[in-house]
């Protein structure tokens, strides 16, 4: 079965049974590394991707549910040459230790800043609550999201 | 203490071998070319034996090398550890990386620089004293005369390091001591393939292990027939080790679930009754030893005595990523890609289980998700090797499920610590007796006679993992880590009871015994302070002779506004202090909690002294991470089990601290560039646990006696009071 959707702005098609998870498709035939398996049960957020701009758990989302939709992963946020303000801010704040949790957190933060350009700490914590970070980078991550929001409001790309 | 015979605690205790002493792991890995290579194109490769665990060690080591060699940081490349070429630095653990590896690398680089300059002086006739190095180029009075790069091919480093060469004085350092950005972080925020999980080798297959439903269960029947496994998945079995391997990962996952339904296991009750775990600890077979005993005759033992028993259930590593490894057999040689903390140690035990010579195994480190101690990284490497053996020449990737990660990794042991302490009429401590009951805190591979890898016990002819041991106190100790109070106490006796049975596999987890021991000590100090009518900070300072200890304590108190704190309903503040392993970093934490339906940690103030901080921002990051880990352990964590299996094998049943629950943290580093660098990853955890317990007492007037500090354990402590 073939599923067609837009991945980070590019049209892709995947030949896998429709009930296979989006996560397996992204990490398998589509060759991405950012979305990661952490629990397979919507309990940790390491697999988070944006589907039509909304954070969704790729570990439980069936591939056929994204037919014709736009999927965005951390790879689609920015590149080292042209980083998303969030990525620049995470680097500026050195927000992370092992970094395993970051790709999921970054896409959730991007969705938050899309709907709320000036979130307070409580709003950031609430938006990131589906995500676990065992390294304890939370406070730096919150600071980085604030920093990115500021940069975006001021129309700057980087931190 | 008895550590058993033939134990190899490489890296924990440096051998006295008659050779001139060299710093850190350079002592046992003396050849310079093992550590450093200059390239003709202007790059330097350093080869530490310690590995990146998410703690930022690669960056700190590159900073040290750049500084000592006088080259820019951008020229330094770090080659990750791999057998057989990397220096054997044992295990990356115990916050020793900067101590062992940093000091070795600093000295090796100083040697390399001296050798290169000597050669340049000979070649050019410029006197050695007149030469200086600028970003790798050698300058004489008249301008450039050579470089590391021009001499790169001369095999100048094929020699042993000399103890005579001196590293730069602290005042001459330009890169070490600055907050250089993490070298690995860009990959991580752009989602690059950096983890072992992301490795994609040509022809790579995917495998999943089918674990037994109960600890120690034996596979008695694998029913044939039924529909074929998805994706042409193939079954691999060795005794009671069972796995499936397929070309596509989703097929391997589905096949494992399908196969699990076809297996009959023989199970038995092997675990203690969780509700009576403390009693079980008291009654289990054990061996006793004395950690320390000293007596003073001339002090009055009369006074105020407090007696308390502290209990913590087992806790899990709970990394956000699950364990993963890739293995390939070809022509009798095994290659393994792993996030193990010790590539040589892993190789030793792989060789034992697989019954091949260690030289036939190549073990390469690739980063994994955050590692907080001896997790399942080594275990999954064996799993991958076992499956790969059945499909020669094809790389096999094994990824653990969340249930395996939380249910089958080694845990930090349940602990019971009983303290009886007496202060005289003036409130001065006169005697301290403590008894620790715990399983050992180390079952790392490569250290015992029998292998300690999980599936090694399940393969045909396998032997159970031997009960864990405790490193000697000189190497930091295990269950007894930080059990000796740093406070002045004339009469002191600490006993250690190590269990000789191990129903739940235990090993090293961040801090080892320290979180429980420090909580017990600090809690007792609070109680004695209350009896003496003294302020908890002042009471501690009164018993501390170590000025660096006093300084962190004062700093944390000052940051928190301790002296002027106001009483607020439902809010409490507490303090915790320890010098990690009594020999490493000093750390004091003040915690503020809000006691609502549950206890919430609202703020932490952390002051630490890690000697020379190679990367101050990296240290702050580690302190904060360790403290949040401590808050999580204190308030939420407990491994749950019935008589056969671990039941807390999901994030729902093993919750950790979340974004909505994380306290605001402020850190202060006491800078001492002239003092030896000390690891920062573990020192804040135990004091944070202690500070939260103190804050609960402050808010609710109840001394908690069991972790985690949930409404249930707090209510139990109120009933007992
Ligand atoms: S892997 Fe999807 S939420 Fe954990
Ligand atoms: S940085 Fe390691 S889990 Fe978040």
Contacts of A137 in chain B (CB under 8 A): 621, 624-625
Question: Residue B299: its pLDDT value, please?
Answer: 65
Chain B CB contacts of A74 under 8 Å are: 189-191
B54 pLDDT band, cuts 50/70/90, is: confident
ipTM (interface predicted TM): 0.97
Higher-confidence position of B119 and A158: B119
Residue B265: is its pLDDT beyond 70? Answer: yes
Region of B304 on the Ramachandran plot (φ > 0 left; ψ -120 to 50 alpha; else beta): beta
Residues in A touching B665 (Cβ below 8 Å) = 139
Ligand 2 atom closest to the Cα of residue B54 is 2
What average pLDDT does this structure show over B99-121? 93
Percent of chain B residues topping a pLDDT of 70: 97
**Dihedral sign of CA atoms B296, B297, B300, B303 in order:** positive
Q: What's the mean pLDDT in B483-495? A: 97
- State how far the Cα of B601 lies from the Cα of B122, in Å rounded to an integer: 64
- Ligand 2 atom closest to A97 (CA): 1
Residue B1 has pLDDT above 50, yes or no: no
pTM for this predicted structure? 0.95
> A123-140 pLDDT, tens per residue?
999 999 999 999 999 999
Q: Is the CB of A134 under 6 A from ligand 2?
A: yes
**CA–CA min distance A143, chain B (Å):** 11
Give mean pLDDT, residues B580-584: 96
Bridge pairing between strands B599-609 and A48-51: unpaired
pLDDT at residue B96 above 90? no
Are A104 and A56 contacting, i.e. CB atoms less than 8 angstroms apart? no
> Does residue A158 have a pLDDT over 60?
no
In angstroms and rounded to an integer, the radius of gyration of the C-alpha atoms of chain A is 15
Say if ligand 1 is within 6 A of residue A46 CB.
yes
Are the Cβ atoms of A134 and B370 closer than 8 angstroms? Answer: yes
Give the per-residue pLDDT at B16: 67
Residues of B in contact with A94 (CB under 8 A): 179, 181-182, 185, 617-618, 621
Q: Tell me the β-bridge partners of A12.
A: A5
Q: What is the DSSP letter of B202?
A: T
- For the segment A89-101, the average pLDDT, to the nearest whole number, is 97
Pocket lining: A100 vs ligand 1, CB cutoff 6 Å:
no
Q: Do A39 and B621 touch (CB under 8 A)?
A: no
Ligand number with the minimum distance to the CA of A90: 2
pLDDT (0 to 100) of residue B710: 97
Q: Are strands B429-438 and B415-423 parallel, antiparallel or unpaired?
A: antiparallel
Give the pLDDT of residue B51. Answer: 84
Q: Categorize the per-residue pLDDT at B191 as very low, low, confident or very high, splitting at 50, 70 and 90.
A: very high
The per-residue pLDDT of chain B, averaged, comes to 94
Q: What pLDDT was estimated at residue A156? A: 67
Distance CA A45, CA A57 (A): 7
Q: Which two tokens stand for residue B180?
A: 């250089």
Q: Which numbered atom of ligand 1 lies nearest the CA of A45?
A: 3
Backbone phi, psi, residue B328, to 5°: -145, 130
Mean pLDDT of B624-645: 98
> How far is residue B127's CA from residue B204's CA, in Å, rounded to a whole number?
57
**Which residue, chain included where needed, has tokens 């096949």?**
B255
Confidence of residue B453 (pLDDT cuts 50, 70, 90): very high
Token pair recorded at residue A99:
């970094």
| Percent of chain B scoring above 90 in pLDDT | 87
Mean pLDDT across B32-45: 96
Sorted by where each starts, the structural domains of chain B and their CATH numbers stand as: 24-185 (3.30.365.10), 197-267+323-400 (3.30.365.10), 415-441+477-720 (3.30.365.10)
Task: Choose between B89 and A96: higher pLDDT.
Answer: A96
Interface of B with A in 410-469 (CB under 8 A): none
Contact A94 B185 (CB under 8 A): yes
pLDDT of amino acid B90: 82
Residue B11 scores a pLDDT above 50: no
| Cβ of residue A76 lying under 6 Å from some atom of ligand 1 | no
């Amino acid at each position: 079965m073939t599923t067609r959707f837009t991945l980070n702005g590019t049209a892709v098609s995947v030949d896998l049974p429709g009930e296979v998870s989006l996560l397996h498709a992204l990490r398998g035939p589509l060759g991405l590394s950012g979305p990661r398996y952490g629990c397979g049960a919507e309990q940790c957020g390491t697999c988070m991707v944006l589907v039509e701009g909304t954070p969704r758990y790729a570990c439980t989302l069936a591939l056929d549910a994204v037919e014709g939709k736009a999927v965005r992963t951390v790879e689609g946020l920015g590149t080292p040459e042209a980083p998303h303000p969030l990525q620049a801010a995470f680097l500026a704040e050195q927000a992370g230790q092992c970094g395993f949790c970051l790709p999921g957190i970054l896409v959730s933060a991007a969705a938050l800043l899309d709907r709320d350009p000036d979130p307070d700490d409580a709003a950031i914590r609430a938006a990131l609550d589906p995500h676990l970070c065992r390294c304890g980078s939370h406070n730096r991550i919150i600071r980085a999201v604030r920093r990115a929001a500021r940069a975006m409001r001021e129309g700057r790309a980087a931190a | 203490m008895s550590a058993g015979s033939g134990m190899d605690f490489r890296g924990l205790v440096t051998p006295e071998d008659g050779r001139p002493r060299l710093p850190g792991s350079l002592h046992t890995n003396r050849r310079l070319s093992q550590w450093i290579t200059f390239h003709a194109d202007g790059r330097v490769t350093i080869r530490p034996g310690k590995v990146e665990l998410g703690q930022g060690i690669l960056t700190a080591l590159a900073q040290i090398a750049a500084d000592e060699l006088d080259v820019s940081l951008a020229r330094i490349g770090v080659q990750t550890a791999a057998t057989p070429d990397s220096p054997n630095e044992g295990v990356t653990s115990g916050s020793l990386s900067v101590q062992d590896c940093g000091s070795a690398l600093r000295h090796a680089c100083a040697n390399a620089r001296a050798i290169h300059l000597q050669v340049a002086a000979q070649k050019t006739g410029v006197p050695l004293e007149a030469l200086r190095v600028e970003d790798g180029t050698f300058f004489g009075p008249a301008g450039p005369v050579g470089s590391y790069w021009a001499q790169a091919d001369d095999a100048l480093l094929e020699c042993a390091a000399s103890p005579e060469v001196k590293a730069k004085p602290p005042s001459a350092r330009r890169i070490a001591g600055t907050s250089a950005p993490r070298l690995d972080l860009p990959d991580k925020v752009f989602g690059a393939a950096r983890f072992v999980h992301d490795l994609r080798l040509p022809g790579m297959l995917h495998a999943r292990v089918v674990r037994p439903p109960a600890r120690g269960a034996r596979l008695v029947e694998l029913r044939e027939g039924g529909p074929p496994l998805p994706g042409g998945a193939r079954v691999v079995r060795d005794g009671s080790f069972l796995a499936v391997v397929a070309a596509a990962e989703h097929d391997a996952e589905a096949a494992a679930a399908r196969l699990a339904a076809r297996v009959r296991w023989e199970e038995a009750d092997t675990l203690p009754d969780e509700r009576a775990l403390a009693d079980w600890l008291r009654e289990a077979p054990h061996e006793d030893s004395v950690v320390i005993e000293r007596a003073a005759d001339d002090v009055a033992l009369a006074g105020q005595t407090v007696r308390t028993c502290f209990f913590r259930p087992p806790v899990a590593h709970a990394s956000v990523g699950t364990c993963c490894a890739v293995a390939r057999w070809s022509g009798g040689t095994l290659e393994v890609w792993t996030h193990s903390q010790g590539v040589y140690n892993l190789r030793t035990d792989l060789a034992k289980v697989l019954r091949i010579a260690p030289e036939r195994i190549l073990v390469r480190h690739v980063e994994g998700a955050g590692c907080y101690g001896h997790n399942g990284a080594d275990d999954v490497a064996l799993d991958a090797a076992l499956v790969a053996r059945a499909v020669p020449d094809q790389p096999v990737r094994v990824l653990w499920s969340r249930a395996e990660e939380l249910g089958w990794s080694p845990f930090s042991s349940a602990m019971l610590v009983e303290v009886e302490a007496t202060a005289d009429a003036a409130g001065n401590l006169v005697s301290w007796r403590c008894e620790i009951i715990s399983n050992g805190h180390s079952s790392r591979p490569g250290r015992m006679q029998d292998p300690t890898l999980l599936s090694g016990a399940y393969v045909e002819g396998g032997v159970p993992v031997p009960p864990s041991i405790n490193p000697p106190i000189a190497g930091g100790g295990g269950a007894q880590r930080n059990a000796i109070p740093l406070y002045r106490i004339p009469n002191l006796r600490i006993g250690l009871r190590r269990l000789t049975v191990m129903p739940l596999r235990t090993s090293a987890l961040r801090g080892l015994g320290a979180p429980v021991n420090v909580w017990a000590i600090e809690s007792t100090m609070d109680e004695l302070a209350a009896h003496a009518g003294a302020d908890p900070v002042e009471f501690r300072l009164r018993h501390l002779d170590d000025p660096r200890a006093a300084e962190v304590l004062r700093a944390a108190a000052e940051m928190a506004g301790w002296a002027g704190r106001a009483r607020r309903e439902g809010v409490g503040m507490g303090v915790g202090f320890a010098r990690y392993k009594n020999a490493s970093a000093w750390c004091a934490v003040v915690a503020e909690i809000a006691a609502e339906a549950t206890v919430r940690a609202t703020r932490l103030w952390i002051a630490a002294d890690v000697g020379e901080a190679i990367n101050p921002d990296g240290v702050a990051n580690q302190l904060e991470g360790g403290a949040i880990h401590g808050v999580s352990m204190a308030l939420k964590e407990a491994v749950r089990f019935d008589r056969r299996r671990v039941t807390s094998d999901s994030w729902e049943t093993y919750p950790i601290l979340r974004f909505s629950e994380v306290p605001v943290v402020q850190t202060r580093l006491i800078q001492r560039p002239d003092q030896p660098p000390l690891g920062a990853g573990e020192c804040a955890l135990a004091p944070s646990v202690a500070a939260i317990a103190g804050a609960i007492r402050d808010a609710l007037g109840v001394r908690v006696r069991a972790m985690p500090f949930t409404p249930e354990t707090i209510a139990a402590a109120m009933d007992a009071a």
